[in-house]
Amino acid sequence: PVAIALLLTALLYPMTRSLREAGMRPIYATWLTMIAALAVLAGTGWLVGARATEEFPNLVKQVEATISDVQEWLVTGPLHVQQTQITQYFRELTTYIQDQRTAITGTVLSAGAVAVEVLASIVLVLFVTFFLLKDGDRIWSWFLKGFGGVAPRVDRAGRAAWTTLSNYVQGSVLVAAVHGVIMGIVLAGMGVPLWAPLAVLIFLASFIPIVGIFFAGTVATLVTLGA
């Protein structure tokens, strides 16, 4: 949580600094920055939830129709798979899922405990981020007191590291936003269901180098083909 709070602070601090330079008191600038960030998250969550609720039933119907078309192609296409084989495969898959129901239930119960830990971590992230935005300079000054005569060197190194971290975080968010927005527009223009959740998934996955965007792109492609 502390590491995430540092990254969030690096992302949000330019806004807080601008408000403070405009004459706003640090406490008000910090609150306004936090409220703006939470408003963006809440708005994104509402958009994703609304689109998912509206489009998911239609996606299920489309996927079912796609599966039916694939089954027909397997029988009548160049593979000439027997209908009895396809039925047997689906029966085995259904049996496997039913057998795993108990394990899935246990996983859901354990996931409830994890959710409590995640919620506590989120609260801690918000708490630490707030005070880093509000009193980060004072916290850094207090931290430097423990280094005695080498404090000026530590100060220069720390400020250089902070500048590098800030530029990295802001650049990563900008690149991820470009990925998410462009792919969201493309998917929406193609009429793909769940385009908003897929755009958010692509945005989040873009923070994982190479593998993340490949995974999110694969999911978006499968949904597009399924629809």
Chain segment 181-192, per-residue pLDDT in tens: 999 999 999 988
Residues 6 or more apart whose CB falls under 8 angstroms from that of 165 comprise 6, 7, 10
- Residue 183's nearest CA partner among 203, 212, 205 is 203
Q: Is the pLDDT reported for residue 90 higher than 80? A: no
- The rounded distance, in Å, linking the Cα atoms of 31 and 42 is 16
Residues 62-89 pLDDT 10s: 777 777 777 777 777 777 777 777 777 7
In what helix (H) or strand (E) does residue 140 lie, and over which residues does it extend? helix 101-144
Residue 96 pLDDT grade (very low, low, confident, very high; cuts 50, 70, 90): confident
Phi first, then psi: what are they for 183, rounded to 5°?
A: -70, -35
* Share above pLDDT 90 across residues of the chain, in percent, rounded to a whole number: 46
3-state secondary structure of 113: helix
pTM, two decimals, is 0.68
| Rounded mean pLDDT, 2-24 | 92
What average pLDDT does this structure show over 94-113?
66
Residue 125: its pLDDT value, please? 94
Q: Are 203 and 209 in contact (CB under 8 A)?
A: no
pLDDT of residue 97: 67
Rounded Cα distance, 162 and 13, in Å: 11
184-217 residue pLDDT tens:
999 999 988 888 888 988 998 998 888 888 998 8
* Whole-number Å distance between alpha carbons of 213 and 83: 37
pLDDT the model gives residue 108 = 60
Q: Is the pLDDT of residue 49 over 90?
A: no
